[in-house]
């Protein structure tokens, strides 16, 4: 069955922008005030970062499918995605506050880390997902620069306390993987999924 649009169940303006870059028609399907979206991102003890991202993405997809049914909207595939940053088995999610953001950035400075993004499509009983893992290397960054970045407000709401399309790009000495995956939606994997679902773009 062909689909001429999808639903995007994500508040991220970067994911919207990346879908627009592909030329995919989409409508937003965001959580209502009655849904605890943050609870879906709670970590479980001992969970590996890749497993965590896949589980959270699937949980977001199930919540969005239930939302679609509750709202009685026209059926179309729903796209969900989740991104986290990891140093070895340590998950570095969105910072709780300025101190947490500074501690995360201090850990990332002068070393490499993984940016893990899962993307999933679902409709009815069908589910498909893909995982992208990229490696990013940060140069050493003086503490004062990190503090200025935290004070700018940029780290908040971002996994790993930074966005690759912000001034933090000046600290990235090497990338191996997917730039769009690091932004929050790996376009190659997303396009492959959309093609398998006969989504027009």
Six-digit token string for 110: 């002068």
Q: What angle do CA 29, 201, 176 make, to 5 degrees?
A: 85
Q: What percent of the chain has pLDDT over 70?
A: 100
SS3 content of the chain, % helix, strand, coil (to 5): 40, 25, 35
What residues does 8 pair with on adjacent strands?
28, 79
Say if residue 45's pLDDT is above 90.
Answer: yes
CA within 13 Å, CB half, 54: 12
Is residue 100 flagged as an active site residue?
no
Mean pLDDT over the full length of the chain: 96
Task: Give the pLDDT score at 55.
Answer: 98
Task: Give the pLDDT score at 39.
Answer: 85
**Over residues 84-93, mean pLDDT:** 97
**Over residues 116-122, mean pLDDT:** 98
Residue length, the chain? Answer: 201
Reported pTM: 0.95
Say if residue 1's pLDDT is above 90.
Answer: no
* Nearest alpha carbon to residue 120 among 26, 53, 177: 53
Q: Which of 82, 97, 99, 100 is catalytic?
A: 82
Q: How many angstroms separate the CA atoms of 81 and 67, rounded?
A: 16
Q: What angle do CA 164, 51, 41 make, to 5 degrees?
A: 65
Task: Give the pLDDT score at 158.
Answer: 95
Domains and CATH numbers, the chain: 6-196 (3.90.950.10)
């Amino acid at each position: 069955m062909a689909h001429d649009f999808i639903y995007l169940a994500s508040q991220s303006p970067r994911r919207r922008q990346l879908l627009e870059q592909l030329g995919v028609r989409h409508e937003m399907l965001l959580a209502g005030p009655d849904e605890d979206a943050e609870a879906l991102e709670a970590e479980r003890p001992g969970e590996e970062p890749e497993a965590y991202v896949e589980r959270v993405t699937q949980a977001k997809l199930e919540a969005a499918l239930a939302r679609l049914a509750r709202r009685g909207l026209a059926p179309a595939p729903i796209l969900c995605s989740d991104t986290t940053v990891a140093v070895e088995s340590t998950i570095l999610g969105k910072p709780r506050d300025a101190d947490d953001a500074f501690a995360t950035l201090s850990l990332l400075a002068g070393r490499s880390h993984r940016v893990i993004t899962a993307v999933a499509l679902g409709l009815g009983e069908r589910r498909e997902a893909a995982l992208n893992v990229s490696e990013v290397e940060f140069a050493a960054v003086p503490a004062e620069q990190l503090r200025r970045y935290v004070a700018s407000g940029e780290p908040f709401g971002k996994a790993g306390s930074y966005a690759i399309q912000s001034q933090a790009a000046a600290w990235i000495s090497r990338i191996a993987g997917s730039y769009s995956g690091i932004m929050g939606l790996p376009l190659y994997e997303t396009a492959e999924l959309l093609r398998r679902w006969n989504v027009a773009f």
